Structure 1
């Protein structure tokens, strides 16, 4: 992988020396490693190594960076891996992939997968070589914390989510130094909390309300995310009583809290802090129309975390998603009058799609208290409540495309932290069936304008490429891209197929007679100024004269980064003295 630079020490932040070392607290920035809504970050116990997530859409995997080197290296065997955590000796990592918990030696070996782990799973590796991990899946009995030997064996349940107490999930476990207890976050219907539970299992005991992401560090503090104030906070912790003592103190550290990334930090045993900085999808984006030569014309100047533009069937309106916490909203822009209005759609809305007549839309929505997404039809005139189209499908469903007659929906089994598959929902029969379900990742299906072909992206070759298959089948697949690609979009006449290759917009001419044929890919334009990280974050104007694109602002660089604070315990003691009450 390309070598990415260390931004350098930003200067000493405190003259207080780390106890026993005589070293001052120092800061640095790592460019090219970051967190997303798909993964957090981990640092080795000795503070020498950082593992993060590769945000490149065509090659999801884990990356490692030694803090005494400028090189960021891909980790073979970690493909589709997320939420890494280190073994106590720092020689191996655990992570999650393919709905399993896996382990991998840093020296190089084939990964070993130990047990089933679903959803946004997280883990912690104890000195007894037992791993505690979370597995959260809506409506299934596997939610809660589990324990499994790192060498393999049967997974044993530690906790069970108690819905009668308003609990939704148990996550972010940490094996405590005593080896007998586990710190965890309890996600609730109305609030979250940091709790503790014996390694033998039982009911979690709350330590802090309105808090999450708790971590006990060797300095004698419990670090946590204060959800009311939105700040990283520390409080003294008594390891014998398993209780917090004294007054919590804000640490003055700005963590990434954008909608595209989890709040993430980690601390090594020697006092090195690493945390997330900046998001792919900041709040300073604008919308432009870009012609085929890459020349832009401003369209929406209002700054927001815009995404997923979708042009109406008549070409006169534009649907947009505006990312925010806790919910993403939908907006409508009139291309003739240049007016922008928010749609009155409740919940966390994703991937808006027009239905053929342009009088209603589809939204893939995640309601409060649910861990999955469901698809609803929403009338633009506000006539009546949203209508459930794909609900209780048994997986988190995201509508990606609608057939021209409006009968079929192409869905993804939306498991952004793992493998995606393509399903088809028949609105006439109400049936949802698999279309393309393999051991690989298939995503971003798009119906051709005549409804007889389905374009999509898949990584069965080792990287994402764009393919086309006959719909409803049978038939073989046709390769469209040749140097990687994702997020295909058809022209309105079906004679062209567009897709993103890195920071390039590519075009392929399509022939249908006497048989299917695709031309060699042609680059239309290339620019780091557009938000390519979210695939299919653009749309094609009628007639194919141009594209609606999302331009990133200066405050949201194309390359993400992490911040590292060396010898942080000295600063922590100054900010949050354990004797304060």
Structure 2
């Protein structure tokens, strides 16, 4: 009988993978990619990362997927990651938001990976490490693994399927057939793995989907449920008057819904003609600004619509880059938003809503800058940036000039001001810790040390937008938590010499 033993130093670890020699274990924990020698010692931080799977190459580099920012390569010894592919391409034919579960293919020139927007449209591709060329291999599938037998094995809807694969031509050379049924699957992640010597391990079970719950969390971390049914929610935003809530719901396409908090009633704001994400309210609570590709192009641009549903959507800006609305000046005359460009990554832009509505760069550098939000007195702009080598929170005078001040000290993003402007909140990179920093400008600027406000398992932050909001009275936060977690696995099935069965079921020809 096999006995499982916990590996010291891997508390909270997910998405583990081995080095080619089997002496090191790579994994994600606390918002970082880490490694640990199986011969002993403490875990070592490689870089900041949100879990998306990893593959350790023979050249001692690691290719990993990041939940929020795409696919990257980093030296296994640590260093500055190099972006291989950016996420958040929303073409109507094949939308994608996440690039997960890479496998460096033999020859070390191509990477096999999964791309998806929703679990229903996950597909499998390869990417060239030299040219960044991408090729689509399988239209419906996830977590593909290339095996020495010349097969691709991948998961779909709780089953494992296999197809013959020509490694030299990077082509699937035959039809896919089921090879194993009943693999436990959550979202797009099936619980299985296959060793290079032919051992298959999997967790038996069915397909389950996570369900989100919107909750109030007070300043001490105490949780109170809303009278809102569980669902699949993204980026909740309270109207400035506190009476309504707008969220993104994932349906066939992503749509915006508004909830009347006094009556607990819902109505859809957008009509499903495009993907709509990342909504914010105008300061008077009368309109909602969001990004959408309803205009027919590949990019998500700024639109707005009256919150009561009357009148059509109106496009506010045109750009080849994705635009993600973030915040308004308190008078409602200027909106700040993020743009995503291949040359500079995430940048902060602004646009006056009176007159020509011409977007202007506000903070554009070779680093990523994101999550901007104005202080209630409009004199300060808080935002996150990876300039120091990891995501940290900063403030700068607005409109400037003036000195930029770093707020967080151990990683942070998604800043949010208290309504009185005397506190600046942010979340740690892992998403479980809410931090608080005092902010006083009278008689001169005084910034306190970060303090832990509370801890809890809430939806992981995203680089595209803030994953929580604060009530107008400043006494509680609106957050997203998992309403139900699938039960932990109680058994693993292990099949030795599974390659022989695979070759019998699906022969390959050289």
- Write the distance in 2 (CA, Å) between the matches of 1:563 and 1:64: 27
Q: Is the 8 A contact 1:183 1:195 kept in 2?
A: yes
Deviation at 1:308, TM superposition (A): 2.3
Question: Could you tell me which residue of structure 2 aligns to residue 542 of structure 1?
Answer: 472
- Write the distance in 2 (CA, Å) between the matches of 1:99 and 1:266: 23
Q: Secondary structure at the match of 2:316?
A: strand
Higher relative contact order (CA 8 A, sep 6+): 1
- Write the distance in 2 (CA, Å) between the matches of 1:520 and 1:209: 50
Question: Could you tell me which residue of structure 2 aligns to residue 511 of structure 1?
Answer: 440
User: 1:305 and 2:256 equivalent?
Assistant: no
Deviation at 1:192, TM superposition (A): 8.4
Q: Is the 8 A contact 1:237 1:245 kept in 2?
A: no
Question: Could you tell me which residue of structure 1 aligns to residue 323 of structure 2?
Answer: 397
- Write the distance in 2 (CA, Å) between the matches of 1:466 and 1:206: 38
- Aligned counterparts, 1:82-121, within 5 A: 84-87=54-57, 89=58, 91-94=60-63, 102=73, 104=75, 106=76, 108=77, 117-120=84-87
- Write the distance in 2 (CA, Å) between the matches of 1:199 and 1:100: 11
Question: Could you tell me which residue of structure 1 aligns to residue 482 of structure 2?
Answer: 552
* Normalised TM-score (structure 1): 0.65
- Write the distance in 1 (CA, Å) between the matches of 2:210 and 2:229: 10
Q: Is the 8 A contact 1:238 1:245 kept in 2?
A: no
Q: Is the 8 A contact 1:45 1:269 kept in 2?
A: no
Deviation at 1:273, TM superposition (A): 6.5
Question: Could you tell me which residue of structure 2 aligns to residue 316 of structure 1?
Answer: 243
Q: 1:73 aligns with which of 44, 48, 54?
A: 44
- Write the distance in 2 (CA, Å) between the matches of 1:519 and 1:180: 49
* Normalised TM-score (structure 2): 0.73
Question: Could you tell me which residue of structure 2 aligns to residue 528 of structure 1?
Answer: 456
- Aligned counterparts, 1:173-192, within 5 A: none
Unpaired segments ≥5 residues, structure 1? 1-6, 11-29, 36-40, 121-135, 140-162
Deviation by residue 1:139-170 (Cα, 9 ceiling, x = unmatched)? 9xxxxxxxxxxxxxxxxxxxxxxx9xx8899x
- Write the distance in 2 (CA, Å) between the matches of 1:312 and 1:569: 57
Deviation by residue 1:404-425 (Cα, 9 ceiling, x = unmatched)? 2323222223489x95332223
Moved more, 305-314 or 204-213: 204-213
**Cα distance, 1:427–1:216 mapped onto 2, change above 3 Å:** same
- Write the distance in 1 (CA, Å) between the matches of 2:56 and 2:33: 13
Q: Secondary structure at the match of 2:473?
A: helix
Deviation at 1:436, TM superposition (A): 2.0
Question: Could you tell me which residue of structure 1 aligns to residue 217 of structure 2?
Answer: 290
Q: Is the 8 A contact 1:398 1:413 kept in 2?
A: yes
- Write the distance in 2 (CA, Å) between the matches of 1:538 and 1:198: 37
Question: Could you tell me which residue of structure 2 aligns to residue 358 of structure 1?
Answer: 285
Deviation at 1:217, TM superposition (A): 0.8
- Aligned counterparts, 1:440-519, within 5 A: 440-501=367-428, 503-519=432-448
- Write the distance in 2 (CA, Å) between the matches of 1:317 and 1:522: 30
**Cα distance, 1:44–1:199 mapped onto 2, change above 3 Å:** closer
Q: How many residues align?
A: 485
Unpaired segments ≥5 residues, structure 2? none
